[in-house]
């Protein structure tokens, strides 16, 4: 479970169909920017192919696009992790 506010990361209703507002997405991404378990969270979201919520500052739609690139052979999981860690370090989540 997220170390931050679950309502931000998993929608207001905490169900698979919870609504996500852009304001909450931004707040969740900002919280992820400074999270001490960012890399572990990111790796877990890839390992379990998480479909819902914001994991390591990555939204569902962003993860789906990354998973598609991995499946299509355009990117390896290790490359995706590296790119996302670099984006985080540059403050561009």
The partner residues of 58 in beta bridges, in order of sequence, read 55
- Give the up-direction half-sphere exposure of residue 57: CA atoms within 13 A in the CB hemisphere: 22
What is the pLDDT, as a whole number, of residue 23? 84
What tens digit of pLDDT does each residue of 39-66 get?
Answer: 999 999 999 999 888 999 999 899 999 9
Going by pLDDT thresholds of 50, 70 and 90, the confidence category of residue 17 is: very low
Please state the rounded mean pLDDT for residues 54-83: 94
Which residue has better confidence, 83 or 21? 83
Write 65-68 long-range contacts (CB < 8 A, 24+).
Answer: none
Strand positions, DSSP E, the chain: none
Looking at the predicted structure, is the pLDDT value of residue 34 above 80?
yes
pTM of the model: 0.81
């Amino acid at each position: 479970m997220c170390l931050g506010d679950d309502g931000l990361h998993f929608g207001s209703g905490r169900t698979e169909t919870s609504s996500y507002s852009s304001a909450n997405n931004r707040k969740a991404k900002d919280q992820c920017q400074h999270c001490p378990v960012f890399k572990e969270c990111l790796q877990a979201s890839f390992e379990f192919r998480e479909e819902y919520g914001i994991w390591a500052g990555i939204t569902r739609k962003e993860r789906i696009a990354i998973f598609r690139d991995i499946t299509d052979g355009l990117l390896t999981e290790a490359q995706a992790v590296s790119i996302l860690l670099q984006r985080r370090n540059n403050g561009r989540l």
